[in-house]
Amino acid sequence: MKMIGLEVCDVPIYDAARERKLGEYDMANIQVAGDYDSPPRLSGFKLPKSYGSNKKQNYGSLVKVIDFLRARPRIDRKLCKNCNMCVESCPVQAIEKQSKAIDYKACIECMCCHELCMHKAVKLQKDNPVAGVMIKLMGSKYK
């Protein structure tokens, strides 16, 4: 982002990750490899017109909508075959091997467990039941 003249706070998804303490954004903690000490500014690079301005905008409403629609993995023990693919695929070890309980404080919502479960035992469920109903209604409208 520095190379194109942006800061972390200029890009909503990176700013949200920074606020949630996901990843590293502080250049003092990042080792830069290459023929320079810090990322050079690219000359002649222009941001797309659709980007607007570099001024910080209020994305609080967008974050609230995303949080409202959030889905988290849930393991259906009836479908689970105890293959432990979900446990092994979890990059933060948020799934307990025996009980298949998910520690949602540790879970980063990458959905690897859902994607890699061959038995379709890991379901994505909305945290907010109203959101689930709204999405079902919207989905039937577009079929």
CATH for 115? 3.30.70
Counting Cβ atoms within 10 Å, is residue 25 exposed (0-12), middle (13-18) or buried (19+)? middle
Q: Note whether 129 and 81 are same-domain residues.
A: yes
Whether 11 is in a domain gets the answer: yes
Q: Give residue 115's pLDDT band: very low, low, confident or very high (50, 70, 90).
A: very high
Same domain flag for 38 and 89: no
**Is 124 domain-assigned?**
yes
59 part of a folded domain: no
55, part of any domain: no
65 lies in some domain = no
57 in any annotated domain? no
Q: What pLDDT, in 10s, does the model give residues 57-79?
A: 666 777 777 778 888 999 999 99
Average pLDDT, rounded, for the chain:
84
Q: Is residue 95 part of a domain?
A: yes
pLDDT digits (tens, 9 = 90+) for 97-111: 999 999 999 998 899
Residue 52 lies in a domain: no
Distance CA(54)–CA(4), nearest Å, equals 11
Question: Based on the structure, what is the number of domains in the chain?
Answer: 2
Evaluate if residue 50 carries a pLDDT over 70.
no
Question: Quick one: which of 21, 23, 65, 20 has its CA closest to 1?
Answer: 23
